[in-house]
Structure 1
């Protein structure tokens, strides 16, 4: 998944990562790097927030053309444990779990 911190940064200039995100059964709560993130529909630039810090994030699937941020060039860090799957995805393979669509 693509994750970007929105709180404290102008538009799409916050740090961003490609990494594994675990969801609960309803997909309303996600876990990433020890953070518990909850879906939020009230934000303009964010779609999830950290339930402990109230920091806002954008969470989405990665894009093959690496245009994950909307307004600016951003250096997106790739977590080591997700690097192989991400590089395969960039080369045209399906994302793990999405092989059939």
Structure 2
């Protein structure tokens, strides 16, 4: 499946990133960097995915044109991976790249 630029937030540490995620055909597994993120059942947890190796919870969602990519209940600072920076600002947000 084609990689997508997604918002990825570690619910354990609060670290949030925008980066390229590749999903399995069934969308039950996402791959980001060295992490294999499994879709969670949703009952009683903060994230919609969890790291298969460490069991840390993650919130993974699509990026929004207006920004505000973080989960509504939790505002955090977001880092953008260098390899997606230009595409995120120009294609997804429709803006010029900030200095």
Instruction: State the TM bucket, normalised to the shorter chain.
Output: 0.7 to 0.9
How far did 1:65 drift? 2.2
Counting strand residues as a fraction of each chain, which structure ranks higher?
A: 2
Q: Which runs of 5+ in 1 are unaligned?
A: 9-13, 93-101
Name the Cα RMSD after superposition: 1.6
Q: CA deviation at 1:72?
A: 4.5
Describe the superposition over 1:17-42 as per-residue Cα deviations: whole angstroms up to 9, x where unpaired.
00000111111111101100000123
C-alpha distance in 1 between matches for 2:75 and 2:60 = 17
In the other structure, the counterpart of 1:97 is none
Normalised by the length of structure 1, the TM-score is: 0.78
Q: TM-score by structure 2 length?
A: 0.79
1:71 to 66, 70, 73: 73
User: Where in structure 2 are there 5+ consecutive unaligned residues?
Assistant: 1-5
